[in-house]
Chain A
Amino acid sequence: MDMEFSPEDLAFQQEVRTFIAENYPADLRGKQDEGDELSKEDFLSWHRILYKKGWVAPAWPVEYGGTGWTPTQRFIFSEETARADCIRLMPFGLAMVGPVIYTFGTPEQKARFLPRILSGEDWWCQGYSEPGAGSDLASLRTVAVPDGSDYIVNGQKTWTTMAQHADWGFFLVRTDKDAKQQEGISFLLIDMKSPGITVRPIITLGGEHEVNEVFLEDVRVPQAQRVYEENKGWTCAKFLLAHERTGIAGVAASKRGVEKVKEIARTEVDGDKPLLQNAFFKRKIAELEIDLTALEFTELRSLAGPNAGKGPGPESSLLKIKGSEIQQRLTELTLEAVGHYGAPYFRGFGDGDNEHPIGPDYAHRAAPTYFNVRKTTIYGGSNEIQRNIIAKMVLGL
């Protein structure tokens, strides 16, 4: 057993650091740190830079455009990009539908979609959830009825993240109403510009436009855009969900978050001392840091342990639960640290929005971010559902 990076790993780390320092766009620096809402172009400009370098999809097999890195190198890469506060790439193409397509897709689908995911030409969204099908995803009701070589799709999806930017969506639809719930579902790739699709914004508590409702009315979708067999879409769905969960631990980003909170607590004054010297506050940061270390080493064990390379199993639920809780505690501490200056609001009142921050720069997004980050224990399968998974799949209850 050994927790040191090898000389090769250290050299790789240096290479990544240098690359970021030399290539990360200056106008994006600090943007994510400030908690600003990021534009489509913000995401894409960093995406394209990594694509050009060949580093956009470290987890993919080399034959489809992956890097061939070891799990340790992938870990180093994600650590370094988070450390430098690089904008996190949208997962829907790279981490979700991409792996489904190269695992289950036809040669035509692979040729058509994978290169455009890598290059960033297509922006993807995930059409799983419905108003009546959240945790109980298998109860979805959007239907696809064959019509010649097409399907006609009708239904409603919700919580579709960033659908407002999407060129394509991957959708779960019901193709056999009489089959048992999990059977009779198919996995469709749908052009978001197809006639019959309407995307309506949902505004969340911090004032953000991140999620949407998607209405599908007589949308015509070629059957050639179905991945895997008809009525066997659940296989793809489950495969994808496990992939979705792994990125969710967010260790590297939370490490950076801890540094940010410390910095704020060093600046804020409490009595005649910095807040960081307040015994209660200091204790909470220390506990958080220890919990984060526990999460990190659990993740490292799962990367380098005996199951490494076998793909994410139900243990990934542990990483999701603990990672999301830590992300929330970080926002709690930040809000607490800024005191009164958590109250001013900056968005959501239309013309009345505040143009200039009130109070210190680090304060103006503290409350909206706290409200927004309540999502992390809900999305990607709620933490209650993750606990059910561990109970059933790991503990055998």
Chain B
Amino acid sequence: MDFTYTDTQDMIRDTLSRFLADTYDFETRQKFIASDDGRDPAIWTALAQELGMLGASFSEDHGGLGGGALENAIIMEELGKVLGIEPYLPTVVIAGGALKAVGGAQADKYIPEIIAGNMIVAFAYAEPQGRYDLANLKTSAKKDAAGYVLNGHKSVVYAAPWASHLLVTARTGGGQRDREGVSLFLIDANLPGIVRRDYPTVDGSRASEIYFENVAIPAEALLGGEGAGLPLIEQIVDEATVAVCAEATGVMQKLHEGTLEYTQQRKQFGIPIAKFQVLQHRMVDMFMEVEQARSMTIMGTLKLGLSADERKAAVSAAKNKVARGAKFVGQNAIQTHGGIGITQELAIGHYFKRATMIEGQFGSADYHIDRFEQLTLAA
């Protein structure tokens, strides 16, 4: 057993964290999330071209560094530490993950483009009525002579305003909640008939409501088998879920460190408030949550390659634990800061916001404990 990182993995972490320290301090981040565009495109280009970061989790055949989920976790954790809004998750982890899984000509075509930073992909999977159920789809893709015709409404699609491509889940058959009949498509984001309503999100990113109105998509856009896409979608969402757990670990670590630092400086009753035992114990509990989030993220990441059921149970265990930990650490970081914690000025509140959104991303604590129970406690 070995939980140490390889030299390459250490190198990825160090390179990225140095780069982010130079380019992504809190004030700079606040400036570009408030800009019209909501981001600084130069960062993405630099991640791809200067650092080669976007290739870390792809095979050498495609021009990558030969890594996988662990590399994604390392990168997501570093992004978490700076509240990075870069669309690494949808582009590399999710779209990249889907392309790796299907392989062939599609992978050969798109993965080098992702690595080069030429492509940003948003994952359009959620629907207003769907909650966290990946199969609950009203969006339809009807086959015609040229390919498919796409109709439907996708909600809260993170990074969509920046995307060159969309990864879309849609029904090619079956009823609204059937496991069969679900397909996955990678399409150009600017096809005629795609209508977007863009908006900022509470955690500093950008997202859209996307409406597909008779969008004609080519047959080659289909990733994997027609109507049999759900297992693939579940797999990439599980990969995304542990990646978000990794991000959460970074966010939680900063919430905890920020709290330790603040309570040692802040004096009330003539002493640093860190001297009050009730706060000390709370910060110890926060520390334990951070460490366990890190452990569960590693556990979940390492189990991604197992059978579907083992993978799902592991990912759900990780997400449930991390979601509860993120809530505990986030709420207590704010509480321990007192009034200053609830202002826009300090970074701590923004870490809290991201931690809060992560709690629900790809399924809440309740959703995942339910899935865990179904898989592990079946009668």
Q: Which residues of A contact B (CB under 8 A)?
A: 129, 132-136, 139, 158-159, 202-205, 207, 211, 268-272, 275, 278, 280-281, 332, 335-336, 339-345, 348-350, 352, 354, 358-359, 367-368, 370-372, 374-375, 377-379, 382-384, 387
Contact = CB atoms under 8 A, between A and B. Distances in A.
A135 B335 CA distance: 12
A358 B343 CA distance: 25
B155 A341 contact: yes
A368 B36 CA distance: 22
A275 B343 CA distance: 33
A133 B338 CA distance: 12
Contacts of B133: 271
A332 B356 CA distance: 10
Contacts of A139: 268-270
A283 B267 CA distance: 41
B338 to A, nearest CB: 5
12 contacts: A135-B269, A136-B268, A204-B344, A205-B352, A336-B366, A340-B131, A340-B156, A341-B156, A343-B201, A344-B156, A374-B334, A383-B335
Contacts of A371: 202, 342, 349, 352-353, 356
B366 A202 contact: no
A334 B366 CA distance: 14
Contact of B370 (A134, A211, A280, A384): A280
B110 interface: no
Contact of B342 (A134, A340, A367, A375): A375
Contacts of B48: none
A343 B207 contact: yes
Contact of A345 (B199, B269, B339, B343): B199
Interface string B219-232: 00000000000000
A214 to B, nearest CB: 14
Interface residues of B, number: 50
B244 to A, nearest CB: 13
B266 to A, nearest CB: 9
A339 to B, nearest CB: 5
Contacts of B36: 352
A336 B126 contact: no
Contacts of A202: 343, 345
Question: Which 6 pairs, one residue from A and one from B, show the smallest C-beta to C-beta distance?
Answer: A136-B268, A280-B366, A340-B156, A343-B201, A367-B202, A345-B202
A281 B366 contact: yes
A384 B202 CA distance: 29
A342 B202 contact: yes
B132 interface: yes
A349 B269 contact: no
B29 interface: no
Interface string B140-180: 00000000000000011010000000000000000001000
A261 to B, nearest CB: 14
Interface string B309-338: 000000000000000000100010011001
B338 A205 contact: no
Contact of B343 (A136, A204, A280, A349): A204
Given A139-B268, A368-B202, A384-B279, A339 B132 contact: yes
A350 B200 CA distance: 11
Given A158-B339, A339-B131, A345-B202, 13 more contacts: A132-B267, A134-B339, A202-B343, A204-B342, A205-B353, A269-B131, A271-B133, A336-B364, A339-B360, A341-B155, A341-B156, A378-B335, A378-B341
Given A281-B366, A342-B202, A371-B342, A134 B335 contact: no
Contacts of A352: 34, 36, 200
Given A135-B338, A271-B177, A205 B128 contact: no
B335 A377 contact: yes
B377 interface: no
A134 B268 CA distance: 7
Interface in B190-242: 197, 199-203, 207, 209
Contacts of A281: 366
B253 interface: no
Contacts, number: 140
Contacts of B364: 336, 339
Given A139-B268, A278-B366, A371-B352, A358 B199 contact: yes
A295 B276 CA distance: 28
Interface of B: 34, 36, 126, 128-129, 131-133, 136, 155-156, 158, 177, 197, 199-203, 207, 209, 267-270, 273, 276, 278-279, 327, 331, 334-335, 338-339, 341-345, 349, 352-353, 356-357, 360, 364, 366, 369-370
Contacts of A278: 366
Contacts of A387: 278
A205 B129 contact: no
Contacts of B353: 205, 367, 371
Contacts of A280: 366, 369-370
Nearest to B133: A271
A134 B338 contact: yes
A203 B341 CA distance: 11
A280 B369 CA distance: 10
A343 B126 contact: no
A281 B158 CA distance: 26
B331 A335 contact: no
Given A135-B268, A367-B202, A371-B349, A343 B156 contact: yes
Contacts of B343: 202-205
Given A205-B353, A343-B202, A344-B207, A378 B338 contact: yes
B269 A136 contact: yes
B200 A349 contact: yes
A332 B364 CA distance: 12
Contacts of A133: 268
A359 B360 CA distance: 16
B168 to A, nearest CB: 16
Nearest to A379: B339
B202 A358 contact: no
Nearest to B364: A336
A188 B177 CA distance: 66
Contact of B201 (A134, A344, A384): A344
Nearest to A158: B339
B360 A372 contact: no
A350 B33 CA distance: 12
B344 A348 contact: yes
B64 to A, nearest CB: 31
B201 A359 contact: no
Residue among A372, A382, A387 facing the most chain B CB atoms (10 A cut-off): A382
Given A343-B201, A348-B344, A379-B339, A374 B331 contact: yes
A226 B345 CA distance: 35
A372 B201 CA distance: 16
Given A372-B342, A374-B331, A345 B201 contact: yes
Contacts of B132: 339
Contacts of A135: 268-269, 273, 338
Contacts of B345: 202-203
